[in-house]
Structure 1
């Protein structure tokens, strides 16, 4: 059993109709996450059996994470291998985590830089990425993990079992041999080289925003301890749309550079 300090965002975003681009079945539940920009959710593609999205440089984005359980969960969220709370590269179990309420959705809009502020996630090239800045600062390699977003869930199994199997109670004022409260057990969600390096997609720090958070103690003993279990979304810069023919020019003469 592990006791950790996790963060609660004081404003939780919940949307029952929200669509998620990536989902994984784990322990009988479907865990899901999505990446969004101002225009909506990025479409997911499959490449070599891996989930990938194609992005545009300088786009700010957010990460939405869904909790399918009837209890609180702690989620470790990394961008380019670095934790979104403290910027460290650790195991999923050791990572600082966010708290999501039962059946809730948490939307992370950026790197949490203090108890009150964040810097927006923004797609950028390797040179301007946070991983490159931290690599230069710490003299440790981080950019090998550019282009990957990871989400790992953890929860307390005893707490979950208590919610799914609560103690049986008698009707108030009735004798012990009378009918019991009916209880329906919640069902799990249905299963439903240099220049080339510089062109790699990464995530930098964008505009500053207010984002109040507070630290809480959270004890868990079940979850996604292995990279085999966590949700992984890879991202790359969108490539130009291939064309079957060259576009027709509107002019048959030399363009005037002064007009």
Structure 2
């Protein structure tokens, strides 16, 4: 049985030229809002990682690399970025038109505003402050393709957001014992308009899921994601860096 949900049309930047051999269906990237630059990802033990700097606001860039509409359910720290529910793939998400790219800049507060995504210490993350710290440190998308219209299919029953919320999803097991050091906070509100639409999913399970993990620099070094800095001999402190006593600032007494 196909399902339909009220979803949001993400606000909008249509790419002029679709990429060739598009894979995955939706490209997931994170943008540092201070610089406007994408945060480079690093691969480590089969996972993609980025460095998050506490206090920095960021946006999540979603790009539909296909010629069909797709629904993207966006999870930040295990929380649905639109509804604030503990994330499950059956929930509402953003609808992207063919070849469309958009930036999601925060937790959706209304059809007109979001609260900025901002890297912060774990205790001040939105997930931890709402009693859900177990999945802090991961951004994920579940992508659904749209059902093709068919003349013989019966009308599809409307599924409300409350109905979608009843779907459950097992929390992913934490594969590492090392503690997460930062999360995503609930920053200041800002203007970010969207509008509702409907989307009939081609299946009840996602066509694909993508995860992108993050942590602070020191934590990434400790995890082995970033190599430990190598100190050359000239960087070592010296007990006798000069032969004589230099004059103090301002000269003699």
TM-score normalised by L of structure 2: 0.70
- Contact in 2 for aligned 1:75/1:152 (Cα 8 Å): yes
Name the structure 2 match of 1:105: 101
**C-alpha displacement at 1:205, in angstroms?**
1.4
3-state SS, counterpart of residue 33 of structure 1:
strand
3-state SS, counterpart of residue 150 of structure 1:
strand
- Contact in 2 for aligned 1:224/1:230 (Cα 8 Å): no
Name the structure 2 match of 1:12: 12
3-state SS, counterpart of residue 131 of structure 1:
helix
Distance 1:125 1:148, change over 3 A: same
Name the structure 1 match of 2:156: none
3-state SS, counterpart of residue 99 of structure 2:
coil
- 2:133 corresponds to 1:143: yes
Distance 1:157 1:90, change over 3 A: same
Can you list the C-alpha shifts for 1:237-258, whole angstroms capped at 9, x where unaligned? 11276241446688978x99xx
Aligned residues: 203
Counterpart CA distance in 2 for 1:61 and 1:159 is 37
Name the structure 1 match of 2:63: 66
Name the structure 1 match of 2:229: 242
- 2:8 corresponds to 1:3: no
Distance 1:15 1:71, change over 3 A: closer
**C-alpha displacement at 1:16, in angstroms?**
5.0
Name the structure 1 match of 2:210: 231
Distance 1:208 1:152, change over 3 A: same
- Contact in 1 for aligned 2:147/2:200 (Cα 8 Å): no
- 2:126 corresponds to 1:130: yes
TM-score normalised by L of structure 1: 0.69
- 2:201 corresponds to 1:203: no
